[in-house]
Each structure stands twice: as structure tokens, then as C-alpha cells.
Amino acid sequence: MNNLTEIAKRAVEDYGFRQIALWSPDDLVEQWGLSPREAGTLKGALRDELERLPVPVEPRDYAAVTDRLNSLISGCLG
């Protein structure tokens, strides 16, 4: 789960990284060695949330958005 939470954090703070997560997630699955369940979360529930984020997420909102995504990831991976 650590890899996926780190990916989520970077995607919140860096729009360029978010673009990779949204549109070329297989590159991240390979680079970060994600498990099939993590890959499914990245391409499913997490992707849906990332797509809804504003561009950019303002720094003052990083913690709240990241916490929300971490809760989502925990819920998906158990």
C-alpha cells in the first residue's frame, strides 16, 4: 500500500505526474512494481478521484486531499 499512497501523494502535488497516473497507469504499475490489486485500484477508484481534482491542487489543500485518497486506498485494499 505504501507505493500506492506515494503515487497518490505525487499525483496530488504534481500535475505532470497525475497525467501519467491518469493516462499511462501501466507505466507506473511497471516502474513501482504494483501488485494486481494495487494496479486495479490505481486504474479504477483512484483514477476516478484523480480525474476530479482541480488543476492545480493548491498547497494548502495537499494534506486534506491526500488524506482523502489514502482513506480510499485503504478501503479498496483492506
Residues near other proteins, by CB under 8 A? 13-20, 22-24, 27, 31-32, 55-56, 58-59
CB of 28 to other proteins, least distance (A): 9
CB of 16 to other proteins, least distance (A): 4
Alpha carbon separation from 55 to 1, 18, 25, 42, 74 (Å, rounded): 25, 10, 19, 19, 25
Residue placing its CB nearer to other proteins in the complex, 22 or 72: 22
Distance CA 71, CA 33 (A): 21
Residue placing its CB nearer to other proteins in the complex, 18 or 66: 18
